[in-house]
Amino acid sequence: MEVNGYHGKTLDMLLKSHVTIGDHICIESTGGKYCGILIPRYEHATPDRIVVKLESGYNTGVSINKIKSIRKVEKPALAHSNKNSSTNRDQSLPSSTDLQLDNTRSPDEKSTNPPPVSLISTGGTISSRVDYRTGGVSSALTASELYESVPELREYSSIDPEVLFTEYSENLTPEHWTIIAKTVHEKILSQKYKGIIISHGTDTMHYTSAALSFALQNLPIPIILVGAQRSSDRPSSDAALNLLGAAVIATKSNIAGVFVVMHNSISDDVISCHLGTRVRKNHTSRRDAFESIDVDPVALVKGENIELSARNSQLSLHSRRNGIEKIVAKPKFDKRVSLIRFYPGFDPRIIDYCVQLGNKIIILEGTGLGHVSRDCIPSLQNAVRNKVLVFITSQCIWGRTSLDVYETGRDLLNVGVIPLRNMLTETATVKAMWALANCKNPREIKQVMQENIANEITTRIPIK
């Protein structure tokens, strides 16, 4: 017999102590006292351990040989507790002391149930587990398992889990963006959910968040991309707190739009909610890898509290929840877009080749205010002559392009190259693919690229 990864002596000890997954427990051991939530075990090695998610958000495994007692305790003060509300949840989840589910309530019973939230899993570290034989990480957890690994989610939301893909995000393509956008659109139209959470690999999460920001406009509810820098079954995983932050935004906020929700710092007390078009993965491994660029995060989540950025509110950088009437869905993308990064010694033949390949738009990531060397000019002229639109962004990341200041910039403007102000290179590339698929002609693309649609262009730079 095995329950949620526990079996043999370990399972016996849990059953004898009348505790089960999701319970708040305190373990007295020779190594100290550990209080937190009992969570399932995913590891394939070291079987004789009970895994507790501590209040810090970290998981810890306690060896049963060291355990003196396991005691169920009242959970620490929280706004509301709905341990038995399991509507829309995966039915295999144990959620009460008798390992039985209470599946009798409908999603309409909002007075007693926490608000229904859709959890769409696309893969990534957040839904990964460590393979303890190889030491590597593989994409394996389903949305239900993910939900199950964070029992506190039930405090805030009735999660309706769905697996859309099981891909690391470096393998996601514009075709995947279309599928995600269509799926999200359908779920919004069902009007069943207070918010939609998309678990996603962090590598390209900011590209997908930009894609959804253009594909789905005038959203009535928050669409939240969430990931983890360390896999959900690791002791140091950031998955639980990011998911909880996402659930708080999904259920308790008054904002609508596409957001990325991740750690604000390396400590586990504040979660940031970023605008989908103004966020970037700026660190390979840290939990606070994602940063809002040229704007504040829309909101900070501290426990159950949401602090909206006053500055962003002033700048009208986010929308409020609304009806579904005005929603715009344009989920198509066209990949005939090249992102080219300039550097000293850059060979302009790369530009010619992108034109030859039949691409229709080039995003040229220049230096500083948006410059490239003068020996690129003939290739850029050739591109423009071939009806390829060339837009300029900056590899500086922060700040905005400006081609009016220096001779180089004015030369580029003369060729017909168009600067994209403070649009991030990633966002510009995604927007170009979207504009190419959804505009009638180059003139319209040119216009749409320079218009602000989803905060990808902000008129002021409030902070670095």
Active site residues: 125, 202-203, 281
Token output for 306:
């949401």
Only one of the segments 8-16, 84-92, 321-329, 350-358 lies at the binding site for its own copies (rule: CB under 8 A); that segment is 350-358
Q: If you ran DSSP here, which 8-state letter would residue 277 be given?
A: T
Q: Using the rule CB under 8 A, which residue among 239, 247, 354, 445 binds its own copies?
A: 354
Site for its own copies in 211-270 (CB under 8 A): none
Asked if 168 and 123 count as a contact pair (C-beta separation under 8 A), the reply is yes
User: Is residue 444 classed as helix, strand or coil in its secondary structure?
Assistant: helix
Q: How many CB atoms lie within 10 A of CB 166?
A: 16
Minimum Å distance from CB 143 to its own copies? 20
Site for its own copies contains 347 (CB under 8 A): yes
Binding its own copies (rule: CB under 8 A), the pick from 171, 254, 414, 452 is 171
Sign of CA dihedral 144, 233, 271, 423: negative
Could you give the CA distance from residue 355 to residue 312 in angstroms, rounded to a whole number? 39
With CB under 8 A as the contact rule, the residue among 39, 50, 153, 172 that binds its own copies is 172
d(CA 278, CA 292): 6
Closest approach of Cβ 168 to its own copies, in Å?
Answer: 6
Choose between 107 and 406: whose C-beta lies nearer to its own copies.
Answer: 406
Measured between alpha carbons, how far is 53 from 128 in angstroms, rounded to an integer? 17
> What's the min distance (Å) between Cβ of 344 and its own copies?
5
CA distances from residue 325 to 180, 189, 216, 328 in whole angstroms, order as listed = 20, 10, 13, 9
Burial 121-136 (b: 16+ CB within 10 A, else e): bbbbbbbbbbeeeeee
Dist CA 153 CA 375 (whole Å) = 56
Q: Answer yes or no whether residue 335 interacts with its own copies by CB under 8 A.
A: yes
Closer residue to its own copies in complex, CB, 58/406:
406
C-beta of 267: minimal distance to its own copies in Å?
A: 13
Min dist CB 439 to its own copies, Å, is: 17
Q: If DSSP codes are grouped into helix, strand and coil, which group holds residue 442?
A: helix
Each residue 41-80 as x (binds its own copies by CB under 8 A) or -, in order, gives: ----------------------------------------
Q: Should residue 186 be labelled a site residue for its own copies when binding is judged by CB under 8 A?
A: no
**Residues 97, 173, 254, 322: which binds its own copies (CB under 8 A)?**
173
Closest CB to its own copies among 4 and 204? Answer: 204
Using CB under 8 A, which of 76, 345, 387, 440 touches its own copies?
345
Among residues 39, 442, 431, which one has the least CA distance to residue 212?
431
Contacts of 413 by beta carbon, 8 Å cutoff, 6+ apart: 403, 404, 419
DSSP 207-223: HHHHHHHHHEES-SSEE
- Minimum Å distance from CB 366 to its own copies? 7
| Closest approach of its own copies to the CB of residue 298, in Å | 22
Q: Which positions from 359 through 378 interact with its own copies, judged by CB under 8 A?
A: 365-374
Q: What is the DSSP secondary structure assignment for residue 374, as one 8-state letter? A: G
Name which of 305 and 356 has its Cβ closer to its own copies: 356
Establish if 343 lies at the interface with its own copies (CB under 8 A): yes
Contact status: 169 vs its own copies (CB under 8 A): yes
Residue with smaller CB distance to its own copies, 111 or 284 = 284
Q: In the range 434-463, which residues lie near its own copies by CB under 8 A?
A: none
118-123-126-131 Cα dihedral, nearest 10 degrees: 140
Contact 40, 82 (CB under 8 A): no
Phi, psi of 113 (to 5 degrees): -90, 150
Contact string 301-330 vs its own copies (x = CB under 8 A): ------------------------------
In terms of phi and psi (left: phi > 0; alpha: psi -120 to 50; beta: otherwise), the region of 8 is left
Among positions 289, 295, 298, 420, the unique one binding its own copies when judged by CB under 8 A: 289
Cβ proximity to its own copies: between 24 and 421 the closer is 421
Binding mask 417-436 for its own copies (x = CB under 8 A): ---------x--xx--x---
Q: Of residues 87-106, which lie at the interface with its own copies (CB under 8 A)?
A: none
* E strand segments, 39-157: 49-54, 59-63, 67-72, 116-121, 128-130, 137-139
